Structure 1
Amino acid sequence: MSENKIAVLVVDDSALMRNIISRLIEKDSALEVVGTAMNGQFGLTKIPRLNPDVIVLDLEMPEMNGIDFLKEMHSRGHKIPVVILSSIAKKGARVTMEALALGASDFITKPSGSASDELEKVGDHLVTVLKAYGSDYRRKHGNSIPPLAVEQAIPQQTFTRTSERSGFKQDDWDRSSPEREPERPEIIAIGISTGGPNALRKVFAELDPNLSVPIVVVQHMPAGFTREFAASLDRICPLEVKEAAEGDIVRAGRILIAPGDAHISIEKKSLASMIHLHDSELINGHKPSAGVLFNSIAKEFRNKSIAVIMTGMGKDGAREIGNIFREGGMTIAQDSKSCIVYGMPRVAVEHNYIRKIVSLDDMAQTICTLAEG
C-alpha cells in the first residue's frame, strides 16, 4: 500500500467485475486498489485493516447487500466516501437513491455490456469521481494528496474577484459589468454536478417552508434516475420536489429537477412561467446543461433572479451564469472548502461572475434570505 496514492476498496459479488473495476482504477497512477471483497460482510471486515480512502460498492450481493453494508458501516462510525456502481434499471434507480439517503456519496451506472468503448467511458468517469472523493477525504483527515489527483478536488484557497487566472482562455468570455442591480427575485436556478446529490439533500432539507420563490435545478445525472432523485428529495424537503415535465408551471413552493435526458428552459408569460424541455445535442458536454437553464433565466428574468453554481467538475454553467450577472441577477457560488470538486464554481468566480461565495452549511439560509430581499 502506497501512502502517496488514494486507497480504494472494491466490494462486488462478481469476480469478473472486481477484476474489471480494479484494472480500470489502477490505470490511473493516483489510485491504488488496496483490496476487494465479494460482499458487504467481507468488505466491513477489511475496512479497519486496509483503511481505504474511498469505497466502490455494488448494491445487489449475497449475504450482505449494499444497503445493509451502508447501514452497518455508518453504525460502526466509518465516514469513508462510498461510490455506488448501479444498474440503469428502474429498480436500480430506487435502490440507488436509498443508498444516497443512507450516506453513499455518489453513483455511476454500470456498463450494460462488455464493449471496450463503453468500459473505457465508465472507467474514465469512475477514476475521476474516485479521485475527487478520495482526495476530499484525505484532505479532511490531514493526509497528503497525490499530485496527479483531480486538481479541482483539492483547492487550497478560496478565490476572490481579483484572484489569479488558472489558464482558461479569456478572449471569448464577456467581462462587462452588470447593467443593473438585483431586484426582488422571481426565480432561483441551481447548477450542480459531482458531489451534488448529498449537497442538495443538505440544502433542501434546510430550506424555509415559507420560501416564496420557485427553484429549478440542473443536476448532472443519467436518465432514469432523476425522477427517483426528485422523489427522495421530496421526502426530506419542506417544499414540493418533482422531476420537471414539459409544460410544468413554475410556482412558489415547488422545486423542479431537470430530467436526466433533456435540457430545461423557462418561458415567462403574463399569467405564469412554464417549463420547456429540449431533446437536443449535449451542451458543455452535458444534457441537461446548467448553461441552457442559466441562459433562459438571463433572458426571461434578468435582474429578478438568483443563480447558484455548486460543486462539480468542468465548467458547465460557468460562462452562462455570467449572462445573469450582467443582467443584474444575484449570482452565488459554493466555496472551495465545501465543494467535493471546485470546478464549475471556480471558473465562474475566476471570471468575476459571482457576487457571493457561500459555504454549503450556509447555502440554504443565504438562498432564503436573498429570496425575501
Structure 2
Amino acid sequence: MGFDAQFKARGRTGLCSGHVYANPEMVREFFSNIGDVNSENGCFFTTMRKVKLRFSIESICELLKMPRVFDAQWPFDTSITPPRSEVIRELTDGLITHIDDIPSGIMSPHYHMLNKIVCSLIEPNDHSHGVNFPRACLLYAIGRGYSIDLASKIWWQIYVYATRAPGTAGLPFQSLLTRFMLGKDVPELDNEIPFTPKGAISSKTARLSKAQVTFLANAKPPKFIPTPEYPPLEAIFAPLHPPPGYNPPWNVNVHAPACDTPCLAPMTMEAPAPPMVALAPPPHPPPEWMESLQRHFDKVHLKLDEFATHFEAFDTQLLKIDDYNAQFPGSFSRLRNDMTYLATQINGMAAQLKRLEAHLELDYSSPADDMEADDEDESDA
C-alpha cells in the first residue's frame, strides 16, 4: 500500500496539510510557560499573553483531524518485536540485513521518501541523512501498516523538548503550535515576523519523485532512481531465507498471501523447515596457485623479519636515550648545589667588603674634610 492510500486509510492526511507559517516568538513563549504537566493523561497547561491554554493529545487530534488510536501496535511489544535483520531488510528492499546505522542513500525509494516525511512532520529534531534503529522501527511500522498513535508521539516529542531541551536543536513543531495558538485566539504582535517553514519535501522533490509520492497505478520510477537487480539466491544460502509463503509472527495485522489452499489461522501456523541442501566439498585449488601463495608468504616473512630487526635497533636507541636522560636530574641537582654555594660565598664576600669600606672611612678621612671642620670652628668663634 502506498503512502497516499495508507495515510488516507489511517486518517493521517492532516499531517501533510495546513502548515502555512510559523511564529517563532509565540512558540518560544509557549515552551517557556509550560507547567502543570500530566504525562499519564498526556496534557499540560501554558499561558500565552494572558490566555491560559490546555494542550493535550486530543488537541493534536482535533487540529490535524486525526483519530486517536488507543490499541496501537507501535511501539512494538517485546513479544512481537521484529528482529533487527528483518527491519533492515525491509527498509533496504532486501539489499542488506546487518548494519549499525542505515544511510538514507541505501534505503529503497519508498522508505527514503517516508524517512523525509517522518523527519519533517513527526520527528523534526532528527536529521534525515542517517537512520538509527528506533527510527528504523518507526519507519518499518508505518511502511508495514501497523496502527500507530501518532498524535501521542507528537505530544511526547513536545513534552520531552519542554522538559529536556537540547542546546543545539531548534524549536520543534513551530507551524503546528502556531496554528493551535491562533485557533485559541492568542493575539499576534505587530513586531513579530512569521516565516514559512521549509519542509523536507519541496515541490521539486515531489515533482521528480511523483511515482513515490502519488503512487499512480502505472507510474514508472524516475530515471535517476536505479532499479535494483539482485543476484539469484545460491542453494547453499537457502536455509537462511524463509520460504515464499512464510508470514512472520510479528506481522499480526498482515494477511497471509492468497493461495489455492487457504488456511484457517495463517498467523499461528509454524513455517515448514526448508529442505536441507547437501553441500558439495570445495574443490582443491590448482598447484600453481599454492606455489604462488607460498612465494608471497615467504616474501611477507622476510619483510616481517626486516621490520623486527629495525624495530629492535630502534628500541636499543630508545634505551640509550632513556639512560642519557636519566643522568640529567643528578647533574641539575649538583649544579643547583654549586650555584647555592657560590651565592653564599658571594654574599659573605659582599658583607666583608662593606665592613672594610666602613673601617677605611673611619681611619682614613680626606684632608678636605678636616679643613671644612676647622673652618666651621673658626666661624663659630
Q: Same fold (TM over 0.5)?
A: no
Which structure has the highest strand share of the two?
1
Give the greater-gyration-radius structure (CA): 2
* TM-score, normalised via structure 1 length: 0.20
* TM-score, normalised via structure 2 length: 0.20
Which structure is richer in relative contact order (CA contacts within 8 A, separation 6 or more)?
Answer: 2
Which structure has the highest helix share of the two?
2
